[in-house]
Chain A
Amino acid sequence: MRRIKKRVLLESQKLLSKVNFLNIGKLTIKEAADALQNKEISVIELTEKFFDRIDNIDDKINAYVSICRKQALADAAEAQALINEGGGGIMTGIPMAVKDNICTETIETTCASKMLGNFKPPYTATAIEKLRNDGAVLLGKANLDEFAMGSSTENSYIKNTRNPWDVNRVPGGSSGGSAAAVASGQALFALGSDTGGSIRQPAAFCGIVGLKPTYGTVSRYGLVAFASSLDQIGPLTKTVEDSAIVLNSISGKDPKDATSIDSGIADYTEGIKRGVKGMKIGIPRQYLSGEIAVGVRNKIEAAIDSYEKMGAVCEETSLDLADYAIAAYYIISSAEASSNLARYDGVKYGFRSSNYKNLLDLYKNTRSEGFGAEVKRRIMLGTYVLSSGYYDAYYKKALQIRTLIKNEFDGLFKKYNCILGPTTPTTAYKIGEKTDNPLEMYLGDVFTVSVNIAGIPAISIPCGNDESGLPVGMQLIGSAFSEKTLFQAAYAYEREHPFAIAPEVQA
Chain B
Amino acid sequence: MNYEVVIGLEIHVELATKSKIFCGCTTKFGGEINTHCCPICTSMPGTLPVMNERVVEFAAKAGLAMNCEIANFSKMDRKNYFYPDLPKAYQISQFDLPICKGGYVDIEIEGKTKRIGITRIHMEEDAGKLLHDQWEKGSLVDYNRCGVPLIEIVSEPDMRSPEEARAYAEKVRLILQYTGVSDCKMQEGSLRADVNLSLRPIGQKKFGTRTEMKNLNSFRAILRAAESEIQRQSRVLDEGGVITQETRRWDDDEGKSYAMRNKEEAHDYRYFPEPDLVPIELTDETINKYRESLPELSHERVKRYIHKLGIPEYDASLITASVKTADFFDDTVNSGADPKTASNWIMGNLMRLMKEVNTEDIPFGGEMLHELIGLIEKGAISNNIAKTVFAEMFRTGKTPLEIVKEKGLEVVSDAGELGQIVDKIISANSKSVEDYLGGKQKAIGFLMGQVMKETKGKANPPMVNKLLRDKLELLK
Restricting to B35-62, which residues have a CB under 8 Å from any CB of A?
39, 42-51
In the complex, which residues of chain B have a beta carbon less than 8 angstroms from the beta carbon of A221? 46-48
Q: A228-B276, A258-B51, A258-B277 are in contact. Are A345 and B82 (CB under 8 A)?
A: yes
Cβ-defined contact, B270 with A386, below 8 A:
yes
* Complex contact A345–B45 (CB within 8 A): no
- Does B46 contact A125, Cβ atoms closer than 8 Å? yes
Binary interface encoding of chain A residues 321-365 relative to chain B, with 1 for a CB under 8 A from any of its CBs, else 0? 000000000000001101100110101110000000001000100
Chain A residues positioned under 8 Å from B317 (CB to CB)? none
CB pair A342–B82 under 8 Å, yes or no, is yes
Judge whether A107 is part of the interface by a CB distance below 8 angstroms.
Answer: no
Answer yes or no: B417 CB below 8 A from chain A CBs: no
| Complex interface: stretch among A114-122, A202-210, A310-318, A486-494 | A114-122
Residues of A within 8 A of B87 (CB): 343, 347-348
Q: A103-B45, A121-B44 are in contact. Are A342 and B88 (CB under 8 A)?
A: yes
Give 1 or 0 for each of B354-382: 1 = CB within 8 Å of chain A CB. Answer: 00000000000000000000000000000
Q: Which of A473-499 contact B (CB under 8 A)?
A: none
> When chains A and B are docked, how far (Å) is the Cα of A395 from the Cα of B272?
9
| CB-CB under 8 A for A342 and B48, given A258-B276, A387-B270 | no
B450 at the interface (CB under 8 A from A): no
Evaluate whether A123 and B39 lie within 8 angstroms (CB atoms) in the complex, with A256-B48, A347-B84, A383-B270 already known.
yes
The docked-state distance in angstroms from the alpha carbon of A111 to that of B46 is 11
Give A365 to B44 CA distance when docked, in angstroms: 20
Residues of B with C-beta under 8 A to A116: 45
Q: Does A255 contact B (CB under 8 A)?
A: yes
Q: Is the CB of A121 within 8 A of B45?
A: yes
Q: Give the docked Cα–Cα distance between A40 and B132 (Å).
A: 65
Assess whether B257 is interfacial by the CB under 8 Å rule: no
Least distance between B263 CB and chain A CB atoms (Å): 9
Size of the A side of the interface (Cβ < 8 Å), in residues, is 43
Task: Provide the residues of chain B in CB contact with A119, threshold 8 Å.
Answer: 45
- Decide if A109 touches B45 in the complex (CB within 8 Å): yes
Query: Which residues on the A side are within 8 Å of B80 (C-beta)?
Result: 338-339, 342, 386
A388 within 8 A of B: yes
Q: Which residues of A contact B90 (CB under 8 A)?
A: 339, 342
State A229–B278 Cα separation when bound (angstroms): 11
> CA separation between A391 and B268, bound complex, in Å?
11
A223 on the interface (CB 8 Å rule)? yes
Q: Is the CB–CB distance between B268 and A256 below 8 Å?
A: no
- Residue of A101, A122, A259, A342 near B89 (CB, 8 A) is A342
**Which residues does chain B contribute within 8 Å of A255, judged by CB atoms?**
50
- Residue B275, interface by CB 8 Å: yes
Closest residue of A by beta carbon distance from B85? A347
Query: Bound complex: CA of A395 vs CA of B80, how far in Å?
Result: 15
Q: List residues of A (378-434) whose CB comes within 8 Å of B's CBs.
A: 383, 386-388, 391, 395
How far, in angstroms, from A391 to B270 measured CA to CA in the complex? 8
B145 interface contact, C-beta 8 A: no
Any A CB within 8 A of the CB of B78: yes
Which residues on B sit within 8 Å (CB–CB) of A283? none
Bound-state CA distance A293–B163 (Å) is 76
Q: Per DSSP, are chain A's interface residues mostly helix, strand or loop, or mixed?
A: loop
Do A258 and B45 contact each other (CB < 8 Å), given the known contacts A342-B88, A343-B89? no
Q: Considering the complex, give the chain A residue whose CB is closest to the CB of B139.
A: A359
CB of A192 within 8 Å of the partner chain: no
Please, what's the 1-or-0 string for B327-349, where 1 marks a CB less than 8 Å from any CB in chain A?
Answer: 00000000000000000000000
Let me know if A335 and B48 touch, CB within 8 A: no
Q: Report the contact-size class of chain B (Cβ under 8 Å from the partner).
A: 20 to 34
Q: Is the CB of A259 within 8 A of B278?
A: yes
The residue from A111, A348, A387 contacting B42, defined by CB atoms under 8 A apart: A348
Task: Check if A257 sits within 8 Å of B45, measured CB to CB.
Answer: no
A145 to chain B: closest CB distance in Å?
16
Q: Which residues of B contact A395 (CB under 8 A)?
A: 272
Contact B82 A225 (CB under 8 A): no
User: Does B297 interact with chain A (Cβ within 8 Å)?
Assistant: no
List of B residues within 8 angstroms of A257 by Cβ: 48, 50
Residues of chain A contacted by B50 (CB below 8 angstroms): 255-258
Question: Which among A223, A229, A345 has the highest number of chain B CB atoms within 10 Å?
Answer: A345
Q: Tell me if B39 and A122 are in contact (CB < 8 A).
A: yes
Complex Cα–Cα for A109 and B47 (A): 13
Judge if B141 is at the interface, Cβ distance under 8 Å: yes
**Chain B nearest CB, measured from A262 CB (Å):** 14
Which of B78, B89, B270 has most chain A Cβ within 10 Å?
B270
A349 and B78 contact, CB distance less than 8 A: no
Cβ–Cβ < 8 Å partners of B275 in chain A: 227-229, 259, 336
Contact B45 A123 (CB under 8 A): no
Contacts of A343 in B (CB 8 A): 43, 45, 87-89
What are the interface flags for A247-285 relative to B under an 8 Å C-beta threshold, 1 for contact and 0 otherwise?
Answer: 000000001111100000000000000000000000000
- The interface residues of chain A lying within 8 Å CB-to-CB of B270 are 338-339, 383, 386-388, 391
**Residue-wise interface mask of A (218-236) relative to B, using a CB-CB cutoff of 8 A (1 in contact, 0 not):** 0011111101110000000
Do A220 and B88 have beta carbons less than 8 Å apart?
no
CA distance A220 to B90 in the complex (A): 19
Q: Does A65 contact B (CB under 8 A)?
A: no
Closest chain B residue to A349, Cβ basis: B44
Most central of A257, A347, A383 by chain B CB within 10 Å: A347
Cα A116 to Cα B46 with chains together (Å) = 12
Report Cα–Cα, A228/B92, bound state, in Å: 14
A77 within 8 A of B: no
A386 to B80, CA, bound (A): 10
Residue A102 is within 8 A (CB to CB) of chain B in the complex: yes
Q: Which residue of B lies closest to A383 (CB)?
A: B270
Could you tell me the distance between the alpha carbons of A342 and B81 in the complex, rounded to whole angstroms?
A: 8
What's the Cα separation between A33 and B276 when bound, in Å? 36
Interface residues of B in 290-318 (CB under 8 A from A): none
Q: Which residues of A contact B278 (CB under 8 A)?
A: 258-259
B48 partner residues in chain A, CB cutoff 8 A: 220-221, 256-258
B46 touches A103 (CB 8 A): yes
Which residues from chain A contact B82 at a C-beta distance below 8 Å?
342, 345, 363
Q: Which of B59-88 contact A (CB under 8 A)?
A: 78, 80, 82, 84, 87-88
12 contacts between A and B (CB under 8 A): A101-B46, A103-B46, A111-B45, A119-B45, A121-B45, A123-B47, A220-B48, A225-B45, A257-B48, A259-B275, A259-B277, A342-B88
Question: Could you list which residues of chain A lie within 8 angstroms of chain B, going by C-beta atoms?
Answer: 101-103, 109, 111, 116, 119, 121-123, 125, 220-225, 227-229, 255-259, 335-336, 338-339, 342-343, 345, 347-349, 359, 363, 383, 386-388, 391, 395
**A-B interface, 7 closest residue pairs, ranked by CB to CB distance from nearest:** A342-B89, A386-B270, A229-B275, A228-B275, A224-B45, A222-B46, A103-B46
